[in-house]
Amino acid sequence: MVVDSARIEVNRRAKTDRLDVATPLTMLSCYHNREEKAWSVVHVLSVEAKGQRHRHQQLLVFKADRAQHTNRIKGLLAGQGVRLAVDGDLLERLGNVCLWDGSLLPPGLRARLERE
């Protein structure tokens, strides 16, 4: 068990080694007697659990990135008056997309959409 010494209240006028030991021991006995406010326990994760946690966090980052790209693509298309479902075959459909006036997507916009 590791104890954060900054969390232990100490009378600064009377600081001795005996008091320095007595306070954590009192808090430890309170903790073992189920007093939840004695101190909080931090559970250290195993290496495997940390690895699983990193994979899950990376998945959340990828999902957020995907949402940002999708929103940017929809915004770029909406700025030109185009409503289009953003899904797997978007790149093939970009060649057939027409603007509100019937003209094809400008090459710069199409390139930017492809990059997104």
Q: Is the pLDDT of residue 110 over 70?
A: yes
Are 106 and 89 contacting, i.e. CB atoms less than 8 angstroms apart? Answer: no
Q: What is the pLDDT of residues 29-88, one digit of tens each?
A: 887 887 777 677 778 888 988 888 898 999 999 999 999 999 999 999 988 888 888 888
Q: Is the pLDDT of residue 108 over 70?
A: yes
In this prediction, residues 6-12 reach a mean pLDDT of 68
Query: Which amino acid appears at position 107 of this protein?
Result: P
pLDDT at residue 45, as a whole number? 85
User: Going by C-beta distance under 8 Å and a sequence separation of 6 or more, which residues neighbour residue 105?
Assistant: 80, 82, 94, 97, 98, 99, 113
Q: Is the pLDDT of residue 2 over 70?
A: no
Tell me the two tokens of residue 47. 């290496």
